[in-house]
Structure 1
Amino acid sequence: MDTLMDFIMKTYQSSKRYRADKLDCGLAPFQQLYIYRICRRPGESQDWLARTLCINKSNVARQLLSLEQSGFVTRSPDPNDRRILRVYPTEKAKEIFPQVEQLIHEWETLVLEPFTAEERTVFIDLMKRVSVRSAELAGEESGAKKKG
């Protein structure tokens, strides 16, 4: 029997394959999610990105280094607390952001297409609740709760 995790992973993996096939910009599909978050919230901290993507801080640091070396982002210390690294999109990231954003929204629209508007609303609400509860059980903050 499939578990909730199976369904979530299958959906995520399918999303990655879909985006990989549609956008050839030198980014891996999971890096597209970094660009999406960074372009929507420029100047957020590296730790904020780790929390919102639910990814280990050291993995985020490695991916940001790769994105920085590829010319997609810059990182700079916060002027008030130099331990905090702020992440900013470069022009290169800003140029591909509309395509990344469109693909993410396109995927969501296509996946939810068979549902009625009411079912979509209920489904999204339930997924938010599952996400928040999962974070609570793991002793984490949900990315939507804290800005850092």
Structure 2
Amino acid sequence: MKDILRDIGIIARALDSISNIEFKDINLSKGQFVYLVRICENPGIIQEQLVEMLKIDRATASRAIKNMENNGMITKKNEEENKKNKLLYATEKGLKLYSFIIRENEHSNSVALEGLTETEITTLVELLDKVKNNISEDWLYVKKGNKRNY
């Protein structure tokens, strides 16, 4: 069996490293840009939904959200029905950063997909979606306290 996870890991770490360097000037570090993008694309999202969407732990999400709030990129508002829930919204500053991040993302996608045909890109997207769904099920299973059988 091919070990595609190594290649996926290399790609993810390389892009994360590039982003951390390029986003350093705008006070977005250690992958926080991903949080900001998801908040901009899902106004009013709550932290638990963000955790599920990004497949991260609550403590990591809390630190990133607090940092972005302190840097004026996002704001929290109480949910009407459930005051425990804090709805997350991008500020004007966050929305400006979002457009910069999206341009970087489009560039990285362009570089990553260079030389692939439209058919290959479509196939890649479909296959990666299947892989993501498989891993998501495993992630949820383990996060609920279960152990996987190897």
* TM-score bracket for this pair, using the shorter chain length: 0.7 to 0.9
Q: What residue is the counterpart of 2:137 in the other structure?
A: 136
Q: What residue is the counterpart of 1:4 in the other structure?
A: 4
**Among the aligned pairs, what percent are the same residue?**
22
Give the aligned length.
Answer: 140
TM score, norm. by length of structure 1:
0.86
1:1-148 to structure 2, matched below 5 A, reads 3-23=3-23, 24-139=25-140
More relative contact order, 1 or 2 (CA 8 Å, 6+ apart)? 1
Q: Rg larger in 1 or in 2?
A: 2
Unaligned runs of 5+ in 1: 141-148
CA RMSD, Structure 1 to Structure 2 (Å): 1.8
Per-residue CA distance 1:22-45 (angstroms, 9 max, x = gap): 343111151111111111111111
Per-residue CA distance 1:77-107 (angstroms, 9 max, x = gap): 2111112221011111111111101111211
Q: What residue is the counterpart of 1:143 in the other structure?
A: none
TM score, norm. by length of structure 2:
0.85
Unaligned runs of 5+ in 2: 142-150
Q: Which runs of 4+ in 1 moved over 2 A?
A: 1-5, 17-24, 137-140
**Structure 1 SS opposite 2:127:** helix
**Structure 2 SS opposite 1:118:** helix
